[in-house]
Structure 1
Amino acid sequence: MRKLYWKIRYTYERWYFENKYGNRKNKVYYDKRYDCYVCPKLLDERGPVEYVIAELTRTGLIYKYKLNGEWAHDHFFVEVLLNAYNEAEVFEIPQEVEYQYSQQELDMLRKAVEAGKVGEK
């Protein structure tokens, strides 16, 4: 029964996106119903705008950092921010990867770590 549900759901979603965006210009559109971005060129690749653009351009961003001394990475800055705040005690941006971040991002991460450490008490 569960398989049938997912098959129907994915079929409906495909139909919805093909009908709504299939004949539009190849731009990136926001879809309120599914709370995602979509481009007619790649209708199956939908989600955050960063993801859709990365799929369209066949590139992507990567943000490296360490948690508990172990290397980790994310492809969205928002995920790095969450880790900086939620894992403040063990989060760090090693000097050798600082170049991957803008000065604004580094400042924001530093403040997120400080706020996360205060929030733990």
Structure 2
Amino acid sequence: MKRLYWKIRYAYEKRYFHRKYGRKKNKVYYDKRYRCYVCPALIEERGPIEYVIVELTSTGLIYECKIDGQWSHDHLFAGVLLNAYNKSERFEVPAEVECQYSQQELDMIKQAIGKGRIGEK
């Protein structure tokens, strides 16, 4: 039953986006109903603005880090902050990849790690 629900829901969403944005100019729009960004050129690819722009330009950012000593990465800085806060005891940005981050980003990561450790007590 759940499977049928999701098929219907995705079909409805697809129809909605094609009807609303299918004939508009190729620029990025914010859809209030679904709270996401969409571009008619890649109407199936919708979500945060970073994701839509990455799909349009076929480029992307990579933020590398280590969690539990294992290399990991994220394509959005928000994901890095989430890991730094939620996995503060096991999260690190090794010196060899610090150049991928701005000083502001490194400061935010340090503060997120600090707040995450306070919340773990």
| TM-score, L = length of structure 2 | 0.93
Could you tell me which residue of structure 2 aligns to residue 58 of structure 1? 58
Distance 1:55 1:89 in 2: 33
Could you tell me which residue of structure 2 aligns to residue 15 of structure 1? 15
Q: Secondary structure at the match of 1:17?
A: helix
Shift of 1:2: 4.0
Unaligned runs of 5+ in 2: none
Distance 1:5 1:84 in 2: 35
Shift of 1:14: 1.5
The residue correspondences of 1:1-121 to structure 2 (distance < 5 A) are 1-121=1-121
Distance 1:17 1:107 in 2: 39
Unaligned runs of 5+ in 1: none
Q: Secondary structure at the match of 1:65?
A: strand
Distance 2:109 2:19 in 1: 42
Identity of aligned residues (%): 68
Aligned pair count?
Answer: 121
Q: Report the residue type matching 1:90 in the other structure.
A: R
Residue 4 and residue 90 in structure 1: after superposition, are their counterparts in 2 closer, same or farther (change >3 A)? Answer: closer
Shift of 1:119: 1.8
Shift of 1:9: 2.1
Deviation sequence 1:16-38 (CA, Å, 0-9, x none): 11111111111111111111110
Over 4 Å off, 4+ runs: none
> RMSD of the alignment, in Å?
1.3
Distance 2:7 2:67 in 1: 39
